[in-house]
Structure 1
Amino acid sequence: MKTKSIYFTGEARTTMDNAITKIYGTFYMAFEVDASNGKIIRTDCNGTMKLTKDFINRIFEGKIFDDDEEKIIEEISERYYASSTRAIVVAYRDALQKYKKVKKDILEKNSK
């Protein structure tokens, strides 16, 4: 059976001198999450370099969207040393709030 996934986005501001701000105005992250268990399947963001996008994806991929919140934020702080560090955390938490609002309904639908 194919896994049903759900999609969430989060947004945050970056510093005025950040290339993301100059190009896009706001930092966005997208998350594809397994609807049955909250496991992060894939992420993407509007970062300016492919390596950045790939690196961020590896931090999130395979973790549980809400249960691993502390672990994810700790890993960002320990591994990601660029000007958009805070924006990644804020965008993740923004998406996490959206996820928490619909999680109960999603889990109930999938258990039927």
Structure 2
Amino acid sequence: MYEKDAIFITGDAKSSQNNPITKKFSQYFLALVVNRTTGKIIDVDCSATVDLTRRFVQAIFIGRHIDDPSLVEDISNRYFGSSQKAMIVAFQDALKKYYAITALSK
């Protein structure tokens, strides 16, 4: 399903105690499939409780470069779900992992 150069990265963060995500999953998770060479985000999923949330998150991320500086800004300006801050932190965690993985392959 995914090309040979695709890698799977997760990021996680705490979400607020009253968030349904916290009740169901304990934490917020963001999973990204990224082309190791180009940095293009191929697929994404998150620990959402509503399918519409997943589709909206996919619309924000898929097709973008993982280190596009406007990604966090887009999350802040477009995603107003209760897990907005957790999504940003989880994305930044995944981005750190991407940098570590790609540094190893150089």
Q: CA deviation at 1:46?
A: 1.1
Q: Which runs of 5+ in 2 are unaligned?
A: none
Measure, in 2, the Cα distance between the counterparts of 1:15 and 1:98.
24
Q: CA deviation at 1:36?
A: 1.7
- TM-score scaled to structure 1, two decimals? 0.88
Measure, in 2, the Cα distance between the counterparts of 1:28 and 1:103.
21
Listed as ranges, the matches of 1:2-81 within 5 Å are 2=3, 4-66=5-67, 68=68, 70-81=69-80
Query: When the two structures are aligned, how many residues end up with a matched partner?
Result: 104
Deviations 1:23-64 (A, max 9, x none): 111011100001220100010011001000110111011111
What is the identity percentage for the equivalent residue pairs of Structure 1 and Structure 2? 38
Classify the secondary structure of the residue corresponding to 2:30.
Answer: strand
Measure, in 1, the Cα distance between the counterparts of 2:12 and 2:104.
23
Q: Which amino acid aligns with 2:39?
A: G
Measure, in 2, the Cα distance between the counterparts of 1:105 and 1:25.
31
Rg: which structure is higher? 1
Q: CA deviation at 1:10?
A: 0.3
Q: Which amino acid aligns with 1:36?
A: T
Q: CA deviation at 1:104?
A: 2.5
Q: Does 1:86 align with 2:66?
A: no
Q: CA deviation at 1:4?
A: 1.8
Structure 1 consecutive aligned stretches of length 4 or more whose deviation exceeds 2 Å? none
- TM-score scaled to structure 2, two decimals? 0.92
CA RMSD of aligned residues (A): 1.1
